[in-house]
Amino acid sequence: MWTRWAGAAVAAAALGLGTGSSLAAPPAPTNEYTIGPEDILDVTVWNNAGLSRTVPVRPDGKISLPLLDDVQAAGVTPKQLKADLTRRLAKFIASPEVSVIVREIRSRKVAVLGEVRKPGRYDVGSRASVLDAIALAGGFNDFARRSKMVILRVEGSTVTRIPCDYDKVVSDGQLETFLLRPGDTLIVP
């Protein structure tokens, strides 16, 4: 499974670009899921129904819990969040037993805009290429300029524009070079 930062590094390296900014959280190990905005989490504190609840990850990446207020959840793995919650709750409860379960994955979305049949936001799996996104959007319209596509990637306060020539991607077999990350926007002029 790829992390949300791997796609940027691959595309940036292929295009000779830097990533543009430092990331707020360090990347998780490549074999573990990283929590993202809009995911739904079950946070359970054993023997404490008042603290246990199902919570959405807000767009700012935080969750709200009793006693702890706002806690950063996006950008970390469920294990890392569990450890953080256990440490924070230890101030209020003796030896808290916490579990964090990702109930629904809603953070893996990309937007496809412009000259496609069904522009919109689409859920993607662990790996999605530009071709996958175009297929989800129903393919190109008749007037699409395939050689002028652009991937917009937001990292912190920086927006990176990654040019993408569809015909070159398909003819050269560069599918791995143009993997999309959750939150990316593909523009087809």
Would strands 53-56 and 40-45 be described as parallel, antiparallel, or unpaired? antiparallel
CB atoms within 10 A of CB 93: 16
Q: What is the pLDDT of residue 5?
A: 41
Q: What is the pLDDT of residue 18?
A: 40
Could you tell me which of 44, 38, 29, 31 has the C-alpha nearest to residue 100? 44
Stretch(es) of the chain classified as CATH 3.30.1950.10: 40-104
pLDDT for 89 beyond 80: yes
pLDDT for 78 beyond 70: yes
Stretch(es) of the chain classified as CATH 3.10.560.10: 107-188
pLDDT for 4 beyond 70: no
Helix (H, G, I), strand (E, B) or coil at 177: helix
Q: What is the pLDDT of residue 14?
A: 38
Q: What is the CATH number of domain 40-104?
A: 3.30.1950.10
Assigned architecture for domain 107-188: Roll (3.10)
pTM of the model: 0.62
**Which residue pairs, CB below 8 angstroms and at least 24 apart, start in 79-86?**
79/32, 80/28, 81/35, 81/41, 85/43
Which has the higher per-residue pLDDT, 142 or 15? 142
Measured CA to CA in angstroms, residue 135 lies from 43, 110, 131, 142 at distances of 36, 13, 6, 15
Identify how many contiguous H helices and E strands the chain contains and give both numbers. Answer: 4, 12
Q: What is the pLDDT of residue 174?
A: 66
pLDDT for 25-43, tens place per residue?
A: 444 445 788 898 899 999 9
Average pLDDT over residues 66-72: 93
Question: Token pair of 184, please?
Answer: 């990316």
**Local confidence band at 6 (pLDDT 50, 70, 90 cut-offs):** very low
- In whole angstroms, give the CA distance from residue 70 to residue 62: 6
- For residues 160 and 12, is the Cβ–Cβ distance under 8 A? yes
pLDDT for 21 beyond 50: no
pLDDT for 143-157, tens place per residue?
A: 999 999 999 998 878
pLDDT for 111-144, tens place per residue?
A: 999 999 999 999 887 678 898 899 999 999 999 9
Question: Token pair of 189, please?
Answer: 């002029």
pLDDT for 69 beyond 70: yes
Q: What is the pLDDT of residue 33?
A: 86
pLDDT for 72 beyond 70: yes
Which has the higher per-residue pLDDT, 187 or 8? 187
- The mean of the pLDDT values for the chain is 83
